[in-house]
Amino acid sequence: MLSIKNTSENTAYITEQAYLEGEKIAEVRHEYVDGVVYAMAGTSRRHNRIAVNFARKLSLTDRQGNPCEIYLSDVKVRAQRAKSYYYPDVIVGCQRDEADEYYLEKPCLIVEVTSKSTEWKDFTEKLIAYQRLASLQVYLIVAQDQPQVTLFYRDAEGAWDVTRFDDLEQTLTLPCPECTLSLADIYEGVDFTQPAEPDA
């Protein structure tokens, strides 16, 4: 998800409470990183299609009785140890999580649909913040311009590992909810012969 800095060096530190209250009435969504607020830009149709594909496939799996909730990009994740709030493209929570109606603190899966302008943040700042969430089992970064999914996951000892998939026939096995998705499922309806439109 693309972020645009909405502050200057002279802007006063914004408290988490002030951010959360302001976000309830804001016309534009913002992410928050340790006192600094960033306005969120719009996304391309391809970006949205990939996120919806992911959520729809997970939702079909979730009907099998898994106690999981699936949210798209209007629900925040609170990365408490990083003092940050982000709007991932897809979030799955399978634990009781009643901290707040507007964000999750215990997600088990996070998906970010990335682009050239957001790769650095998705693979560095957000990766570090998300991996510090005790509940998180999987963080997926999904490219728009080619079939490529980078899967960060906790191994049996709780350490983080990474695998990359770049073939539409490959499948991902996810623990939360327990399911298998192919890259063809994730990129259904995406025409890679056409260049991806940049997120606004």
Beta bridge partners of 60: none
Q: Per-residue pLDDT tens for 79-110?
A: 998 999 999 999 999 888 887 899 999 999 99
Helix (H, G, I), strand (E, B) or coil at 182: strand
The pTM assigned to this predicted structure is: 0.90
User: Stretch 9-35: mean pLDDT, rounded?
Assistant: 89
Helix (H) or strand (E) holding 141: strand 138-142
- Give residue 63's pLDDT: 57
User: Stretch 128-155: mean pLDDT, rounded?
Assistant: 96
27 burial via Cβ count (<10 Å: 0-12, 13-18, 19+): exposed
Half-sphere exposure of 86 (CA within 13 A, CB side): 26
- Tokens 């960060």 belong to 152
User: Stretch 47-60: mean pLDDT, rounded?
Assistant: 91
Q: For a pLDDT cut of 90, what percent of the chain falls above it?
A: 68
- Give residue 176's pLDDT: 87
Q: For a pLDDT cut of 70, what percent of the chain falls above it?
A: 91
**Which CATH code is given to the segment(s) 43-186?**
3.90.1570.10
Beta bridge partners of 77: 86, 104
DSSP 27: S
User: Stretch 16-44: mean pLDDT, rounded?
Assistant: 92
Q: Per-residue pLDDT tens for 159-173?
A: 999 999 999 999 999
Q: How far apart are the first and last CA of the chain?
A: 10
Contact assessment for residue 52 and residue 31, using Cβ atoms and an 8 Å cutoff: no
Virtual torsion, Cα 157, 160, 161, 163, nearest 10 deg: 130
